[in-house]
Every structure is written in C-alpha cells, then in structure tokens.
Amino acid sequence: MISLHNISKSFGTFAALHDIDLTVRDGEFLALLGPSGSGKTTLLRIIAGLAFPDEGQVRFNGEDVTDLPVAERKVGFVFQQYALFRHMSVLDNVGFGLSVRPRAQRPAKARIRARARELLDLVQLDGLGDRYPAQLSGGQQQRVALARALAVEPQLLLLDEPFGALDAKVRKELRRWLRQLHEQMGLTSIFVTHDQEEALELADRVVVLDRGVIEQIGTPEEVYMAPRSGFVSGFVGDCNSLPVTVSGGRAEFDGQPLDVAVERLRDGPARLDFRPHDAAVSANGHGLPLHVSGVYRRGGCWRVEGAVNGSGQIIEIDLDADQPAPRLGSQIAFSITRARVFAEEGTQ
C-alpha cells in the first residue's frame, strides 16, 4: 500500500503540488489525470523518488520512504519518451537493472540474458533482443521500456504518459495489453495521463488533478457521472456549459426555467454542465432552441453542433442516428435530461 500525506512541492514561486493526500491500494490500477501543469508528473516522480517533496511524507506499506532515492524504492518507472539506452541492444537494455546490482546480488551473465529473454517474450518482442532501440517502432520501444522496468521485479509500476507518443491504433492495443499484464503480474500500477478517455478506460480509480490540487478521487463511473467540481465536469468527458442564473433552487437560462435540480447553491450566476448524450429533441417544439451549424456521424449518433438561442454559446448534442439528421441551418428544440450546476469559479 502506498500512501501520501500532505505532500507539497514548489518550483521557485510556482506551487506544483499543494497538500496532497492519497492512498493507493495493493493491486490497484490508478490514473493521475489532469491538464499539463496540473502537477501529475511531479506527483508521480515524488512517488518514484525521482523528486522530493518540500513537505509531507511518502509511505510504502507504512514505512517512511520520503528521503529514499529511487534506486532503493524498488519501483519500475516507464518514461514518456521511453528513455532507452541507445547504445545498448534491446537485450542489454532489459538486463540493465540486473547487471548494475552489487556483485553479491548480481546474477551470472547467462542468467541475466535468460531473464531478459523471458521478459521480451512476456512483452511479445521475442527475437528482437539483438536489435538496437533505433531499429524499433514506437510501440516496440515502449514495450522494451516496460520489460526493462519489470526486470527488477518492482512492487510498484509507474508510467508517465505511457501512450502519449503512439498513434491511435497502437495506443488502444497497448492499453488493453497493459491492463492484462497488470492483472497477470499482480502489480500495483500508477499512470499519468492527460487523456481522460484513457484514464476512464484503463483505471480502477482516477485521481483528477488541477493546479496542484486533487479535485476528485473516484472510480471512472463516479468521476464521469458525478463530478464533484466544475473543473472535473469540464475536463472528464465531453461537456457543454451554459451560463445560468439560480434563483430559489431553480436554474434559468436566458429567462427560461430549466427542469434541473439545484442543490446547495446560493442565488446568482452559475454554470450548468451537461453531456452531449444527456439531451433529447423535444417533439412538441418546447425547450431550448438550437441553430444547427454542423452535423457529423459519431458512432451510433449524430453529433449536432450549434448555437443556443442566438447567444453565440456553441454546444454539442448527440441525437439517435436512426432518425434523419437535422438539416444545416435549421432550428431544433431540445431539452436537457441530466445536468449539474456549479457555482462560478471562485464564488463557491
């Protein structure tokens, strides 16, 4: 079990992390999700021992490892750009962790090579051991980096934007495969990503970070369906925002009352968030008017873009593709079936 207590870190005057508390369970697959500059990579590096917090504690299984350097934490770290050793063959890359052990614990050379071959089999790169990193594709390099990290038998696997530099198809395959590997090896894994889709698909739990603060921790379902802040709502999943006015527990948009429950919000301006699939065309013509400016197919839906009520506010809604697509330039009326209202930034 990994636990972080009151972790803070600044670079000069920039506060990268502020008062972070986090517990990672054994065997968990955890995503650190946030935009660039949110502190997610810094947090990962602090867990690894590649960076050290200004304040707070890092504990592995209750033991304080805050001041322990990376070499002594028994973690596997996979870097964003793979960071392979270019002058070594793939096999030597994978065996590196074993070959730098103190002589007493170092396996024989033949044993190291055999172990490296096993790991290459595991990451499905058997037969490529004699190549050099420059001769491999991005996806293959990524798997070499993973095999190299696994060679030291880490209790914890840390991945920094592991799929960032790969094309979409390879990325999807690798994701699924990584998830399997995680289960199969009984690892505890933490990965950093700015791609919410990746976090929702892969992780057991998602930690959403913004400007050095944890905004929400929860399962992908919780984070998507019940975002706890306006930031999480806007960052995780496609989201439309409309400026509304709250009065007496009801939200109004452009003078029109909306059928949305508002809890614990003072009267005044607020922000209403809803997902494209939480909208429906109203048959009777009542509802919010949408001036259709774009329509394209998105899987089983029409993704319809347009301005609401001439306010210039562009939103997107998904309509059933079994129905004919709305014509460009036409006006349709829609109602919002599920939404959340958040106080405007800074007024909560």
Q: What is the contact surface with other proteins in residues (CB under 8 A)? A: 48-50, 69-71, 75-77, 79-81, 83-88, 96-97, 100-101, 131-132, 134-135, 145, 148-149, 151-152
Cβ closest to other proteins, residue 74 vs residue 211: 74
In angstroms, give the least distance from the CB of 154 to other proteins: 9
In angstroms, give the least distance from the CB of 119 to other proteins: 13
Q: Rounded distance, CA 320 to CA 143, Å?
A: 40
Cβ closest to other proteins, residue 118 vs residue 267: 118
What is the phi/psi pair of residue 227, to 5°? -60, 140
In angstroms, give the least distance from the CB of 45 to other proteins: 8
Best CA proximity match to 231, nearest among 215, 247, 250: 215
In angstroms, give the least distance from the CB of 193 to other proteins: 17
Cβ closest to other proteins, residue 188 vs residue 216: 188
Query: Residue 124 burial (CB < 10 Å; 0-12/13-18/19+)?
Result: exposed
In angstroms, give the least distance from the CB of 209 to other proteins: 21
Q: What residues form DSSP beta bridges with 55? A: 8
Cβ closest to other proteins, residue 48 vs residue 262: 48
Cβ closest to other proteins, residue 166 vs residue 260: 166
What sign for the dihedral angle of Cα 145, 147, 153, 156?
positive
Tell me how far CA of residue 345 lies from CA of 230, 236, 257, 270, 339, in angstroms.
8, 17, 22, 9, 18
Q: DSSP letters of 17-29?
A: EEEEEEEE-TT-E
